[in-house]
């Protein structure tokens, strides 16, 4: 489980930073356009960073990212 203090989001930011390429590839697969995928990646990351509590650790972080992506873009 990802644990952070209320004032320390660095672990989550590091995790998200490491997943940016994967998120982009998922977005390209959904949207078929590079610029749209870059915009989608930013939207997905913003949503995850805004609500870190949405990751409950019942699945992998990538699963959480994929679910967030599919919720936003209804694949």
Domain of 22? 10-73
Tell me the whole-structure pTM to 2 decimals.
0.64
In a domain, 3, yes or no: no
CATH, residue 53 = 1.10.1740
**Is residue 4 in some structural domain?**
no
In a domain, 34, yes or no: yes
In a domain, 68, yes or no: yes
Stretch (H or E) spanning 13: helix 10-18
Indicate the number of domains in the chain: 1
Is position 5 within any domain?
A: no
Structure token digits, residue 4: 């952070």
pLDDT per residue rounded down to tens, the chain (75 residues): 445 445 566 777 787 788 888 889 888 888 899 999 999 888 888 887 777 666 666 777 778 777 777 777 654
Contact between 20 and 41 (Cβ < 8 Å): yes
């Amino acid at each position: 489980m990802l644990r952070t203090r209320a004032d320390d989001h660095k672990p989550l930011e590091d995790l998200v930073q490491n997943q940016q390429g994967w998120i982009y590839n998922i977005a390209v697969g959904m949207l078929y356009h590079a610029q749209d995928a870059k915009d989608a990646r930013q939207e997905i990351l913003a949503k995850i960073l805004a609500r870190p509590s949405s990751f409950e650790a019942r699945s992998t972080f990538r699963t959480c990212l994929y679910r967030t992506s599919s919720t936003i873009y209804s694949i």
